């Protein structure tokens, strides 16, 4: 019995030691647009309405942020009602301050401006930039169209491909 337990322990150690590096996939997306004296910014982490002068950096910086509101004092914050739904033509957001307040973003048009795809250490890296027009529909105001610059970024898993450096 003691030998069986030791054998199992050795097999487990060999299996763990022989396992390859796990590389999680990355999927990030988001948009920035100006509407009058405000900016509408959204990503997988939520949507914020901020004064037009507020800067969160480049579009890539915005989609890379896990919290759009970090470091901001003047904003209206909203959470995506289904953050697993992805970058959809219609997205509904719920106010962080009042769960009864909602707003909807409906894609009216989309034009891909650029597409970049290449292999990074055995992983596919895909970046698409779009110009989109959304219908911004808050519950408490008239709907308006907003032109937005959007980005979708994906970095796949290695899929068994080796990472080699030349």
Summary mean pLDDT of the chain: 83
- Does any domain span residue 5? no
Percentage of the chain lying above the pLDDT 70 cut? 82
- Does any domain span residue 129? yes
- Does any domain span residue 141? yes
Residue 59: give the domain boundaries: 23-155
Q: How many helices (H) and strands (E) does the chain have?
A: 2, 8
pLDDT of residue 166: 56
Mean pLDDT within 109-117: 97
DSSP SS3 for 137: strand
- Does any domain span residue 14? no
pLDDT of residue 16: 36
| C-alpha dist (Å) from residue 48 to 28, 57, 78, 107, 137 | 17, 14, 6, 17, 14
- Does any domain span residue 54? yes
Contact 129, 112 (CB under 8 A): yes
The 8-class DSSP code of residue 68 comes to T
- Does any domain span residue 142? yes
**Cα–Cα distance measured from residue 138 to residue 40, given in angstroms and rounded to the nearest whole number:** 12
pLDDT of residue 76: 94
- Does any domain span residue 8? no
Split into its structural domains, the chain has a count of 1
pLDDT at 10 over 60: no
């Amino acid at each position: 019995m003691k030998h069986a337990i030791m054998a199992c322990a050795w097999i487990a150690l060999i299996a763990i030691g022989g396992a390859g590096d796990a590389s999680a996939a990355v999927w990030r997306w988001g948009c920035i647009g100006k509407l009058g004296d405000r900016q509408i910014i959204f990503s997988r982490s939520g949507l914020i309405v901020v004064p037009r002068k507020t800067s969160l950096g480049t579009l890539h910086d915005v989609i890379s942020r896990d919290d759009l509101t970090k470091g901001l004092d003047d904003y209206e914050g909203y959470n995506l009602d289904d953050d697993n739904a992805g970058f959809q033509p219609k997205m509904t957001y719920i106010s962080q301050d009042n769960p009864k307040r909602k707003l909807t973003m409906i894609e009216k048009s989309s034009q891909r401006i650029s597409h970049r795809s290449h292999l990074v250490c055995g992983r596919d890296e895909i970046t698409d930039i779009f110009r989109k027009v959304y219908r911004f529909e808050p519950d408490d105001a008239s709907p308006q169209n907003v032109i937005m610059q959007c980005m979708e970024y994906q970095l796949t898993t290695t899929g068994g491909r080796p990472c080699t450096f030349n």
